[in-house]
Amino acid sequence: MFKTLLASAAAATTLIAGLTAPANAHFLLEYTTDTMIDAPGDVPVKLIFWHPLEAGHAMEMEKPQEFYVIHRGEKTDLMDTLKPFTFEAPENTAQAFMGTVPVKRSGDYVMVTVPAPYYEESEDIYIQQITKAFLNRNELPTDWDAPVGLPTEIVPLNKPHNVIAGGTFTGRVLANGEPVAGAEIEIEFMAAEPQMDGNGVQEITSGPLPGGAIVALSDENGYFTFGVPKAGYWGFAALGSGPATEHDGKELSQDAVLWIRAWDMQ
């Protein structure tokens, strides 16, 4: 018991409180209205490159290099489901994409997007956010805790589709399957969820934090822990954790992004 308490305390110290990143934190969204699916069918998903904590500026998104889902260890290509649309953010409009994920059998569905690198003119660098999000049908766990084999990714240690608000979430940052020590992880709340029956956003439910995004650092084994204060969608972006560092002769930040859904206790 004493060893378990010590291990829990050590994990909790990987939450870095009070450290903040620049306000303009980029996040690629894989957004669905719900993560827990009851009936079989095609689940719509929106891919949007945005500043979700501020519900602010959206970035133009090119067609992704890859968009697929993994269910019971099997990969299904979903590129042919993607259609562009104009996302109407509160500050501007930008191209985004709508796709669908076929959900039939019970279990986890791991959505993966590998976007084309995005040129951020203000920083003169490219950004590529390799993103994962999760659906589940009938509460049967199958795939949520398994690495996908991406150049860089965050592997959850809590079921990512039903985290409890007020509890903690732990993830592990990997690059080519190996842990990344000292990774800087931006953490943002989705302050306004996109509309699924329109191109805009729903009600803005929170404002930006002083100083911008919360930041955690992974420990020597790639782990980090975050205390989830509020129900809703939370994004984690491990900045520059991937092995690729250059694109078209310029610096590339190859990031691992993970989205989780937190719920209030009933």
Tally of residues, the chain: 266
Q: Average the pLDDT over 32-55 and give the result.
A: 95
Give the pLDDT band (50/70/90) at residue 233.
very high
* 3-state secondary structure at position 263: strand
> Beta 178-179 vs 66-71: how paired, if at all?
unpaired
Question: Considering its fold, how many domains does the chain have in total?
Answer: 1
The CB density around residue 120, as the number of other CB atoms within 10 Å, is: 16
**Residue pLDDT, tens place only, 105-164:** 999 999 999 999 999 999 999 999 999 999 999 999 999 999 999 999 999 999 999 999
Percent of the chain, pLDDT > 70?
91
Residue 246's CATH number: 2.60.40.1930
Residue 209 pLDDT > 50: yes
Q: Average the pLDDT over 159-175 and give the result.
A: 97
The pLDDT of residue 13? 38
**Residue pLDDT, tens place only, 6-28:** 344 344 434 433 333 343 589 99
* 3-state secondary structure at position 224: strand
The structure's pTM equals 0.91
Instruction: Name the one residue in this structure whose structure tokens are 């100083």.
Output: 211
Does residue 71 contact residue 110 with C-beta atoms inside 8 Å?
yes
Q: How far is CA 227 from the centre of its chain?
A: 16
Residue 167 pLDDT > 70: yes
The pLDDT of residue 213? 80
- With a CB cutoff of 8 Å and minimum separation 6, the contacts of 146 are 73, 155
Q: How far is CA 256 from the centre of its chain?
A: 8
Please state, rounded to an integer, the average pLDDT across all residues of the chain. Answer: 91
| Residue 10 lies in domain | 2-263
